[in-house]
Amino acid sequence: ARWILYSLLAALAWGGWAMLSKLGSREIPADTMQFLSTLGMLPVGASLLGTSGRRLERNLRGTLFSMIGGGLSAAGIVALIAAYRSGGNTGVITVTTGLYPMVTVALAVSFLKERLTRKQIAGLALAAAAIVMFSW
């Protein structure tokens, strides 16, 4: 399936990003890292917009969600880089913050009224246990 290829590419890209963020955090503060990281995203965004023939969307609600999401993403990245800079173990920090989907699930259940199966609840419990086990 095509989604697995994209998922693996995302994992590889984010893995490299996390390693470079850890290395960069040894040299410069988290806020500077986030600013420079954002500059690095601009050419990718511009090329996506320019080569696909797409135009900017004019849906205000979707644009607002996207902008707020970008702000939350940036805040999370600053916190992650600050964690790297604090001298913590890169693997533990990355795995712990990589469990952010647990927050997404809690929000989806709370605000979107989505339901979880017993298997999914068990998966969340195992993910929570993984955080504890990974941090020992």
Query: pLDDT digit string (tens) for 1-23?
Result: 888 898 889 889 988 998 999 99
Closest CA to 135 of 68, 89, 71: 89
Query: pLDDT digit string (tens) for 64-88?
Result: 998 999 999 999 999 999 999 998 8
User: What pLDDT was estimated at residue 51?
Assistant: 78
Q: Which residues contact 70 (CB under 8 A, 6 or more apart)?
A: none
Structure token digits, residue 81: 């880089």
Residue whose pair of structure tokens reads 């988290």 in the numeric block: 30
Structure token digits, residue 14: 């984010």
DSSP letter, residue 59: -
Work out the average pLDDT over 107-113.
Answer: 92
Residue whose pair of structure tokens reads 């984010």 in the numeric block: 14
